[in-house]
Amino acid sequence: MEILTVNKHKELLYVTVYDKLFKMINEGTFPENSRLPSEPELAKRLGVSRSTLRQALALLQDDGLIKNIRGKGNYIIKENKTDTTGLEKIGHPVYKCLDLETNNIELDFKIDPPSDYYKKILGDSSVATVCIDRWYLDDNLALAYSYTIITIEVISKFNIDLSDKNNLLKFIEEESYKECSKIKSTIKFTTSGNFVTKRHPIPDESQFYLIEEAIYSNSELPVIFNKHYLPMKHSTIKVNPMK
């Protein structure tokens, strides 16, 4: 195996290692979304210690070139050259944050009596709650998952026909964001993503971003509550502060 040596004299060693890895990533030595070699293998390949390599990898993470998935390793982040909009603007988080392309959405829903959890989030005045599952697919492969709860009164207010799934999907994917007065979002880390996704678990993923959205429509309490599960390996959280 070829040993790549680095110049150890003119600058801090980890900076030299960073530059070497930066060049290799941009030249395609390590393709987008691929996993970097293990730390022992990569340190040997570069002719440096693992501690020096870790310093360089930390800088690459800071600069958004790689992402570390605990227990799995470091992955090259796919560069999104077209869409730079982040969570600072109201809109669907799955489309803003998921690095992969989806070509289908599977939707299912049920109507439940309001549980204590639903009452805590949406208030206790509703007689029923519509619970909606959405799986974002590439063909039949699940890439992300969203769970939505809406009171039956909101369904009635916006004249949503529950027998028309396309109409329901359009409302929760698009119109709810256009009609809202504000959104409160919380970003969390979770390992529960695969058992909550039910019949479409996301393959080979155990760590997820959980983006919770409380959507308001000139109301004291949210009218819609979303939980979006995005695999950390294939997602990027972006926020572009604006005045």
Contacts of 222 by beta carbon, 8 Å cutoff, 6+ apart: 121, 122, 184, 214, 215, 216
- Give 185: exposed, middle or buried? Use CB within 10 Å, 0-12, 13-18, 19+: middle
- Walk along the chain (243 residues) and give the pLDDT tens digit of each residue: 455 555 544 458 888 898 999 999 888 898 888 899 999 999 999 999 999 999 999 889 888 788 887 678 898 886 655 456 788 889 999 999 998 889 999 999 999 988 888 888 888 778 899 999 999 999 889 999 999 999 999 999 999 999 999 999 999 999 999 989 999 999 999 988 778 888 898 887 888 999 999 999 888 889 999 999 999 888 888 888 877
Q: Which domains does the chain have, with CATH numbers?
A: 13-76 (1.10.10.10), 93-234 (3.40.1410.10)
